[in-house]
Structure 1
Amino acid sequence: MSLRLAEVTSANLGTALAIRVRPDQEHAVEPVAHSLAEAYVRPPGVAWPRLVLDGERPVGFLMAFLDIDWRGDGSVRRSGLWRLNIDAGEQGKGYGRFAVESVAAELRRRGCGELYVTWHPGADGPGGFYRRLGFRTTGETSGGQTVGVLGLA
């Protein structure tokens, strides 16, 4: 495997939009088109969308959030993984782990000490995946989703 992240550009937009999770996961994560639209309407530098590539083959999409006002009142700023979409036929091959580790490396490079993520709760959600990577729940919810945090020290 030759894994890397690539910026989403006009040249690879169609490739990014073609990433689809399994049908049984669609309720738990927004499609790539929704994520890219959200990135576009946020202030510059808040969203960090990237394609996950194995060589030149697209296998997933991620979007990090950078230094956001978590509570909307200026009291708490956080960075983390906003979206993770691994293509249906590519799951279970380590691409999700690579994506999370890549976001962690980028946040460390930016001086962050923690990586936050939210996930759809319940047996059909990705909570087990995130816990296996070392995330712990914070006891918070955001938009009905479980909030997890991973220390980056």
Structure 2
Amino acid sequence: MADLRLEDLSASNIAAANALSLKPGQEQYVTPVSYSAAAVIINPATSWQRVIVDGDDVVAFIQADFDPQAPSEEFRSILWRINVDADDQGKGVGRFAVEALADEARKRGLDALYVIWEPGEDGPEAFFLRTGFEPVGETNYGDTIGKLAL
């Protein structure tokens, strides 16, 4: 994992991003990458989508949004999605992705990064807590709002 790097999501790597595998039980927490890419058509100016590449292999996908005009603070700098291939989980890939996103937020002059996750046994809560997010609230639907101070 020494050769990790970010690349923009593009036509040349979206198939590999869509092929990222999941561990059993994670399916309910993740939608296909192509759905996330299609959703960005609404506002591509604020979206930040990257794949994480190890050597020549796509090992993760991350999507965030930076919208200074968003009505709620948590939506001004938010991690919407992170998907690390099942075989590469636990090897620092997710942490690399979150740290790269945090660096991007800092470059944009932001002092916090947010994420919203669905609670559950196989869900992402433990990962987000390990990477420094702290629960700061709950959505109307019972999802946890996490904040990473930058």
SS at match of 1:93: coil
| Percent identical residues | 46
Q: What number of residue pairs does the alignment pair up? A: 148
Q: 1:142 to 1:22 in 2, by over 3 A?
A: farther
Taking structure 2 as the reference length, the TM-score comes to: 0.89
* Counterpart residue number, 1:49: 49
Q: Name the counterpart of 1:134.
A: 132
Amino acid across the alignment from 2:107 = R
Shift of 1:124: 2.1
Tell me the TM-score normalized by structure 1: 0.87
**C-alpha offsets along residues 23-79 of structure 1, whole Å, 9 cap, x if unaligned?**
410101222121111122x21222211111112211010101112665xxx354521
Unaligned runs of 5+ in 1: none
Shift of the alpha carbon at 1:20?
2.7
Q: Is the strand fraction higher in 1 or 2?
A: 1
Cα distance in 2, alignment partners of residues 145 and 132 from structure 1 = 18
Which stretch of the first structure deviates more once superposed, 126-135 or 91-100? 126-135
| Structure 2 CA distance for aligned equivalents of residues 66 and 21 of structure 1 | 27
Secondary structure of the residue aligned to 2:17 is helix
Return the offset for 1:140.
2.2
Relative distance call for 1:107 and 1:64 in structure 2 (3 A) is same
The gaps in structure 2 that reach 5 residues or longer are none
- Root mean square deviation, CA, Å: 1.8
